[in-house]
Chains A and B, each alone.
Chain A
């Protein structure tokens, strides 16, 4: 520290650009430009994988499964049962927190044809799933290896609009987006989406940040079926949502973090997912109410899929089919309390409830009778599908609704 030469310090910290070094720099930049220019293109050019994907593939005795938090109990009961039956070991990670950030994470690897480290994953039937299918990033399922799915899946969950013929996905669980409110603070019954626009609740309403979710509520309030909406309808929905925001009715646009504010009274009512509210009431003893609004709610499905670069696709396919055994599906439903694609699970849980006693019986009875877990035909009639997005119309859709939440 004793000897310090200011000239040296200046020399190290200040660039003195000569004509020559400027030229060198620009040459370097040009080289860089040329390099990167070929790095980010042609992702759509790949051919979608076909049935020949399965030729010569064998079970390897292990697989890695990426799922959402709270989508399987902490003992991973169903996976243990699977390992006991087949001897296949499963690595289970609660790695998926959001559809878009998960997509952002795996997209570059899939584009390079690298493994994403998981052989089976769960994503919602939204735009990310559409993109994965269009980009050819998913393995086509071999339905001959999925006998349980064919035998046990409910009709509503087969041949869906987002994946005709279940070519790439089978449902893991479904849920309803509706309104949750806290009766401690709200002194009247909330029944409709219009209630979320009531100026009486200024600053006490939570909405979702997800463009697709928030679009549905704007559209349904305007009396438009999301599945048949056009760009004109979207713009009208945006106007409605902006009106709600600019009047100060919306407190915040939430991701999955609306439950805490809803419980402690920061917001009194919020757009919500059915299973979250059911779980919160069951575990924390809260009395939150969940309603499917008069204008209608939306139903979404989280799907199982195999990335095309999976190292153990056969094992993944076996687990997929295993989860469609009624006993297994019933066990899963008991924990995650969302809608199961296996209708028979209701009977099994009913039998279990009949045998159980005390607190367990009460819980199981509540579960079996809950329209949130086992919706009736009527309930289903009030539920709508998401706005069907393709990579083309998404270009106008997403920015429209982002402009609502990102003011």
Chain B
């Protein structure tokens, strides 16, 4: 850890100790780039967006700050359906990611042997192609008479009128597909570091396979799942590409609304207030989730 060099050790040290004041200030200097980064790329945009969300006016006449809190009320009243739908789709995609991603991570970590990195590379390989292109190619795969559905219909497994593309399941599958590595990698990272002798010890103490998994492996891997959920749920709830490309009518997600409020309608204050509502909802969700699961655990797991 970078901090080690600046924490004075007890006892005589071979190198001359830097003057006290410099030593005291050093951590601040070290954290300065981080603070600057946050200030430029987080605080400034957030503050300008907050102000924007409280403005009124139009693009031509200009927007002025009138503390128009009505923007928020309007946004909720008009788009609550799309907000709830986004959270629902994001949630479904996250659950799907856990269901698929956990076994994958488990298998690579414990059974991958010498080929662990190869498997990880294979997992990541599709993601070297652009996000949008990958999503569009799902459009080809899921076409009514395409590779997948066409074949299934031909051998009689699906009735003729079956449609997947431009529906809610297509959007959820698309989201789960696109964010899967963000679930697999954190779980893998935790499992990979786990001491496998713990499982052996559990077995020695007469735990069955299931018991050993539920009582030993699962609790240890939870911080990884926690991180994975955050990394998939937040971006998938806010995503708009999947809903746009794979969705149909009545599948609009809130990201699309924000995009068109900005670009089509040029209603910047409205777009900004929807953004903040989404952010608030996600933050509240994440904080209560963190409370329930405990952030301490995450920190400990990362440090091990």
Residues of A within 8 A of B (CB): 1, 3-6, 8-10, 12-13, 28-29, 32-33, 35-37, 39-45, 100-101, 103-104, 107, 131, 134-135, 203, 211, 245, 248, 250-253, 260-261, 264-266, 391, 395, 398-399, 402, 406-407
Contacts and interface: CB of A to CB of B under 8 A. Distances in A.
A102 to B, nearest CB: 9
A29 B47 contact: yes
Contacts of B266: 104, 131
Contacts of A135: 59-60
A5 B257 CA distance: 45
Given A203-B163, A407-B249, A40 B263 contact: no
A40 B60 contact: no
Contact of B145 (A4, A13, A264, A402): A264
Interface stretch (B48-56, B212-220, B231-239): B48-56
Report whether over half of chain A's contact residues are helix, strand or loop; otherwise say mixed.
helix
A9 B143 contact: no
Interface string B1-24: 101100100000000000000000
Nearest to B254: A406
A44 to B, nearest CB: 4
A44 B60 contact: yes
Contacts of A1: 1, 303
Interface of B: 1, 3-4, 7, 31, 43-44, 47-48, 50-52, 55, 57-65, 82, 139-140, 143-146, 163, 165-166, 247-250, 252, 256-257, 260, 262-268, 295, 299-300, 303
Contacts of B144: 264-266
Given A40-B55, A252-B247, A266-B143, A402 B264 contact: yes
23 contacts: A4-B1, A6-B299, A32-B43, A33-B50, A33-B65, A36-B47, A37-B51, A40-B63, A43-B59, A103-B263, A104-B262, A104-B263, A203-B163, A252-B249, A264-B144, A264-B145, A265-B143, A265-B145, A266-B143, A266-B165, A402-B264, A406-B82, A407-B249
A252 B248 contact: yes
A44 B48 contact: no
A9 to B, nearest CB: 5
Contacts of B267: 399
A41 B145 contact: no
B294 to A, nearest CB: 13
Contact of B51 (A12, A13, A33, A395): A33
A127 B261 CA distance: 15
Contact of B48 (A36, A203, A245): A36
A134 B266 CA distance: 15
Nearest to A253: B249
Contacts of A398: 264-265
Given A28-B43, A251-B249, A264-B143, 8 more contacts: A6-B303, A29-B47, A36-B52, A40-B63, A104-B263, A104-B266, A131-B60, A266-B144
Contact of A32 (B7, B51, B55): B51
Nearest to B146: A264
A168 B181 CA distance: 51
A13 B250 contact: no
Chain A CB within 10 Å, residue with most, of B58, B60, B165: B60
Contacts of A211: 264
Given A4-B1, A266-B144, A398-B265, A406 B260 contact: yes
Given A32-B43, A266-B144, A406-B257, A399 B165 contact: no
Nearest to A30: B47
A46 to B, nearest CB: 10
Given A32-B48, A266-B165, A399-B265, A391 B145 contact: no
Contacts of B47: 29, 32-33, 36
A41 B64 contact: yes
B260 A245 contact: no
A4 B58 CA distance: 54
Contacts of B51: 32-33, 36-37
Contact of B52 (A3, A29, A40, A245): A40
A391 B265 contact: no
B214 to A, nearest CB: 27
A13 B299 contact: yes
Contacts of B31: 12
Nearest to B166: A252
B127 to A, nearest CB: 23
Given A13-B299, A252-B247, A37 B65 contact: yes
A283 B145 CA distance: 22
A407 B250 contact: yes
Given A104-B263, A406-B257, A250 B62 contact: no
A245 B262 contact: no
Nearest to B61: A44
A210 to B, nearest CB: 8
A211 B266 CA distance: 13
Contacts of B264: 100, 211, 398, 402
Chain B CB within 10 Å, residue with most, of A33, A261, A264, A406: A406
Contacts of B249: 245, 248, 250-253, 407
B113 to A, nearest CB: 24
Contact of B60 (A32, A43, A104, A203): A43
B238 to A, nearest CB: 16
Contact of A251 (B57, B58, B61, B166): B166
A35 B248 CA distance: 42
B256 A391 contact: no
B248 to A, nearest CB: 5
B121 to A, nearest CB: 25
A24 to B, nearest CB: 13
User: Nearest 3 CB-CB pairs, A to B?
Assistant: A32-B47, A41-B62, A36-B48
Contacts of B265: 398-399, 402
Nearest to A404: B249
Contacts of B257: 406
A69 to B, nearest CB: 15
A43 B48 contact: no
A252 B252 CA distance: 11
B1 A107 contact: no
Contacts of A10: 299
Contacts of B262: 104
Contacts of A134: 60
A251 B248 contact: yes
Contact of A101 (B1, B58, B263): B263
